[in-house]
Structure 1
Amino acid sequence: MVDTRKMIAFAGSVAMLAGVAACGNSNSAGGGDQTSGDAQQEITVWAWEPTLKDVAKKFEAKYPNIKVNLQNVGTNIDEYTQLTNALEAGNGAPDVAQIEYYALPEYAIKKQLKELSGFGAKDYADYYTPGTWAQVQFAGGIYGLPMDSGPMAFFYNKEVFDKAGVDATQIKTWDDYYEAAKKIRALGDKYYITNDAGDAGMYEAMTWLAGGQPFSTSDDGTTITVNLTGDKGSTAFQAFWQKMISEGLIDTKTAGWTDDWNRGLSDGTIASLFSGAWMPANLVGGAPTAAGKWRVAPMPTPDGETANAELGGSSLAVIEGGEKTEAAWKFIDFANHDREGVTTRVDGGAFPADNETMKDSAWLGQTTIKKDGEDVDYFSGQKYNEVLAEGAKNVLTGYQVSPYGVAERAAYLDTVGGAFTGQETMQQGVQKWQDKIIQIGKDQGFTVKQ
């Protein structure tokens, strides 16, 4: 991301809910925090980001008295389920956790994350891009350090698009995309312009892209307004995506991040993706045989006007209640602020959250992606970071996530899922989703309006 980008203004939702207590971290050793001298400690880090493996090695070289026990307990919701269970039980939680920006408010509200201003994080504002920095702050506190970001982009298989007679660089509007989808489909029964078997993050990002504001949270974090069924951006995406589904233009059977999905990306039967800027490393890892066939373009928008949204992006946060907070802070500071740590992650394929990298001419001019230490020319010489960095500048301001995003997104497939199997429409499913979101909020002690 760059420091000129427009970006999200998160709600200041950190009021502590009645009946929610902070939970301790049983992974901590007794006797206080010791990170100087010869005292040996081990911190447990829960994260799925693969570049952290190399970061941990370099961190241990710099801080030989701190060992990092890096554990991948699952991605996003899988990790959050285990983290929530451990926090509620009062034992088994890690010292550090990777938490996506959309999920951070939920843990900050419950006072389960360490506020980091006292460690010096308050002086880091100029280091990070404005959007990522905004997403780790709540009610004057800082609850994580930005690790990466995910401005959206249109990733497409140029070989397949050429075969269908479509110039993807000329797809500017959702109508353009619809017309292209019909041509891709005409290549044969196996070919689809994209897949979607039910992805809440995708729904919210596309709503954001369309200028939507379906969630609004009060400054004190106690009141949330939910309007998925009436918000202009939300309803626009519902209508667009339902049209694509009804005409059989989307692969609704293949779920993302599965072996079938990777095969579709490899052989071109899934011909494009709307995804975050972190996608290049995943493409080269999951669909290596398609190297040279894929390209990146800006996102199409409802009317062709320049706009963008975020899809994904994570922070590293220190869990509250532990006795190794100084060591935990040193790790997240090294991984997300120290140049050695940041460069290690970016060189490994992570999309940056800092201003220095986003301005770097070598990074902007990059044409290859690292895979197992080797450079892969996946986008056939395209300077793909230039496209992604430009997309970061165009992210619309003002979008708010709900203050209980983990539970909200977990309810998506159970409510909207029927739209992808033909049992109901997107509009019917979203109504059920909204009803569920409202009930979740009330159950958690929020005042919910619609």
Structure 2
Amino acid sequence: MRMTKRPMMAAAAAAVIAAALSACGPAAGDAPAAGATAGDGGATTLDLLVFNALHADFYQEMATAWNARNPDRGIVLEPRVLPLQEMHNQLQMAFTAGQQIPDIVDIEVMRFPNFTIGTQVLYDLAPYAEPYLDDLVQARLDLYTHGGMLLGLPTHVGATVAFYNVPLLESAGVDWTAIETWDDFRDAGVKLHAETGAHLGSAGTSGGFTHHLLVGQHEADYTDDEGILKLTTPEVVAAFEMLQEMHATGVLGIIPGGTPDSEEGFAAIANGDFGAVIMPVWFGSRFINYMPDLAGQIAVAVPPTLPGSDVVTIGGGGTGTAVPLASEHRELAAEFVAFAKLSEQANVRVWELLGFDPVNTSVWSDEAVTHNPDNRFVQYFYNNPFDALLEMRGSVGLLASQRTHSWPEVIAVMNSEILDSILESGVPAADALERAEAALRNTLRQ
């Protein structure tokens, strides 16, 4: 599995990047976090460049753990936390000038392909990931693999799940545990809409993951591995026709704000306008932070599936942590990053501190962690989020187009043209996709 005017596409791409960044926690400010204390005066200083202060805090905690394990190879992190755009611009300029290059850097997933084109600037982390491979979700490593090299390490899986409003569904006689396929979802949605006026799912016109999930479950993609467009293949068209049909029957409703991950979207979900939200696991933190009154009412479940497909879910959002090839401490930095992103100890904290689904699946079955009654995520949800993850283990797919240079442009047009045409204007899915592909081929010079 692997149209528009240029200014509009650029604006849309910026909006998409902002939304993707939100998957990795609170936005960063300009102030750097405090440094970690190493085990002795001979510690190596590593420059860390990130766009999220919470991530900087996480790395500091991991540096402390590293130093406890490796007192003879201690490190001191010197973090810089910059706003998203500024950080990536500075990184690009540093690579161009060959100076002020950090030892470790977080790169937002939509921008990662920009640093894989042309001369290699990122260090291959594959040898350092090797000790952890048996427990990792391979699709998330594939996301940052370019030219056979693993150039970044993931922060989470971002598995797409269904968040069900249990009391709302029960009020219409709908049993969320009986929803297994998209046909089940459709039937339940028709019933819910007839009984309450609420929609079962949300359709976003400027973002969301339902359409990505449908494409992934059709074992299709928006481009090939080289970024050549594939928007008009029968499988992609079928996925968007399903989306359009569910919207036409009231099963899906267009969510205010254009995406569930917006203030307007949060308000609509909290108001009971939608019986379910299909989003990555990281959206769980949005419930806690923005919809506290729904505590105890939201069940986390495997999303509806497509019979015959090997793909149950796909990963969404993310940050790839990389080590520049030019770092004089690249071997030490790489070993630390692998520990901080892939080890079981680190992934326990990914769940406890950030609320993300750990990429190291050994954590998924550690009930001392996943069922900790003091954990705020465990306390909030109707059931345990890891129940769904364990069901989907081994069935996490990847839209490989995410790692191509075409991805930002494809998503910009998706969120500014395709979804609006299909959902708001009623343009047949095949026609909307054909028009979009023609415009994108011109933009991408294909």
Question: Where in structure 2 are the equivalents of 1:101-250 lying within 5 Å?
Answer: 104-111=112-119, 113-117=121-125, 120-186=128-194, 193-199=201-207, 202-217=210-225, 223-232=226-235, 234-248=236-250, 249-250=252-253
Shift of 1:355: 3.9
CA distance in 2 between partners of 1:299 and 1:230 (Å):
24
Q: Check whether the contact 1:367–1:379 (CA below 8 A) recurs between aligned residues.
A: no
CA distance in 2 between partners of 1:436 and 1:235 (Å):
17
Q: Check whether the contact 1:100–1:315 (CA below 8 A) recurs between aligned residues.
A: yes
Question: What is the TM-score with the length of structure 1 in the denominator?
Answer: 0.74
Match of 1:354 in 2: 360
Residue 296 and residue 263 in structure 1: after superposition, are their counterparts in 2 closer, same or farther (change >3 A)?
Answer: same
- Matching of residue 388 in structure 1 with residue 357 in structure 2: no
- Matching of residue 66 in structure 1 with residue 71 in structure 2: no
SS in structure 2 opposite 1:250?
strand
CA distance in 1 between partners of 2:175 and 2:81 (Å):
43
Residue 135 and residue 291 in structure 1: after superposition, are their counterparts in 2 closer, same or farther (change >3 A)?
Answer: same
Match of 2:281 in 1: 277
Letter in 1 for 2:263: D
Shift of 1:49: 8.3
Q: Check whether the contact 1:122–1:142 (CA below 8 A) recurs between aligned residues.
A: no
Question: Where in structure 2 are the equivalents of 1:366-405 lying within 5 Å?
Answer: 366=371, 370-371=375-376, 377-380=379-382, 382-396=383-397, 401=402, 403-404=404-405, 405=407
Letter in 1 for 2:404: P
Shift of 1:293: 0.3
CA distance in 1 between partners of 2:53 and 2:287 (Å):
15
Match of 1:263 in 2: 267
Higher mean C-alpha deviation, range 281-290 or range 105-114: 105-114
Q: Check whether the contact 2:162–2:301 (CA below 8 A) recurs between aligned residues.
A: yes
CA distance in 1 between partners of 2:286 and 2:292 (Å):
9
Shift of 1:343: 2.3
Match of 1:332 in 2: 337
Residue 110 and residue 421 in structure 1: after superposition, are their counterparts in 2 closer, same or farther (change >3 A)?
Answer: farther
Shift of 1:79: 8.1
SS in structure 2 opposite 1:407?
helix
- Matching of residue 310 in structure 1 with residue 320 in structure 2: no
Residue 189 and residue 125 in structure 1: after superposition, are their counterparts in 2 closer, same or farther (change >3 A)?
Answer: closer
Residue 243 and residue 137 in structure 1: after superposition, are their counterparts in 2 closer, same or farther (change >3 A)?
Answer: same
Map Cα deviations across residues 162-191 of structure 1 (whole Å, 9 max, x no partner): 112211222223232223223333455565
Question: Where in structure 2 are the equivalents of 1:72-111 lying within 5 Å?
Answer: 73-74=83-84, 82=89, 86=93, 90=97, 95-99=103-107, 104-111=112-119
Residue 288 and residue 208 in structure 1: after superposition, are their counterparts in 2 closer, same or farther (change >3 A)?
Answer: same
Higher mean C-alpha deviation, range 41-50 or range 80-89: 80-89
Shift of 1:103: 5.5
Match of 1:251 in 2: 254
CA distance in 2 between partners of 1:175 and 1:294 (Å):
22
CA distance in 2 between partners of 1:385 and 1:276 (Å):
13
Shift of 1:315: 2.8
Letter in 2 for 1:428: D
Question: Where in structure 2 are the equivalents of 1:419-434 lying within 5 Å?
Answer: 419=421, 420-422=423-425, 424-434=427-437
Shift of 1:403: 1.5
Match of 2:13 in 1: none
Residue 267 and residue 97 in structure 1: after superposition, are their counterparts in 2 closer, same or farther (change >3 A)?
Answer: farther
SS in structure 1 opposite 2:404?
coil
SS in structure 1 opposite 2:392?
helix
Residue 224 and residue 114 in structure 1: after superposition, are their counterparts in 2 closer, same or farther (change >3 A)?
Answer: closer
CA distance in 2 between partners of 1:54 and 1:118 (Å):
22
SS in structure 2 opposite 1:253?
coil
Q: Check whether the contact 1:173–1:304 (CA below 8 A) recurs between aligned residues.
A: no
Gaps of 5+ in 1: 1-7, 10-34, 218-222, 443-447
Letter in 2 for 1:211: E
CA distance in 2 between partners of 1:341 and 1:279 (Å):
20
Shift of 1:433: 2.9
Letter in 2 for 1:235: V
Q: Check whether the contact 2:46–2:104 (CA below 8 A) recurs between aligned residues.
A: no
Shift of 1:244: 2.7
SS in structure 2 opposite 1:377?
helix
Out of 406, 410, 413, the residue aligned to residue 412 of structure 2 is 410
Q: Check whether the contact 1:174–1:301 (CA below 8 A) recurs between aligned residues.
A: yes
CA distance in 1 between partners of 2:239 and 2:188 (Å):
17
Residue 84 and residue 411 in structure 1: after superposition, are their counterparts in 2 closer, same or farther (change >3 A)?
Answer: farther
CA distance in 2 between partners of 1:304 and 1:169 (Å):
20
Residue 277 and residue 145 in structure 1: after superposition, are their counterparts in 2 closer, same or farther (change >3 A)?
Answer: same
Residue 429 and residue 96 in structure 1: after superposition, are their counterparts in 2 closer, same or farther (change >3 A)?
Answer: farther
Residue 305 and residue 179 in structure 1: after superposition, are their counterparts in 2 closer, same or farther (change >3 A)?
Answer: same
Map Cα deviations across residues 71-94 of structure 1 (whole Å, 9 max, x no partner): 3634xxx68974786468658876
CA distance in 2 between partners of 1:79 and 1:270 (Å):
37
Letter in 1 for 2:388: V
Count of residues paired in the alignment: 398
CA distance in 1 between partners of 2:218 and 2:326 (Å):
40
Shift of 1:143: 0.5
Residue 123 and residue 367 in structure 1: after superposition, are their counterparts in 2 closer, same or farther (change >3 A)?
Answer: closer
CA distance in 2 between partners of 1:202 and 1:177 (Å):
12
Q: Percent identity?
A: 18
Q: Check whether the contact 2:103–2:329 (CA below 8 A) recurs between aligned residues.
A: yes
Shift of 1:309: 2.7
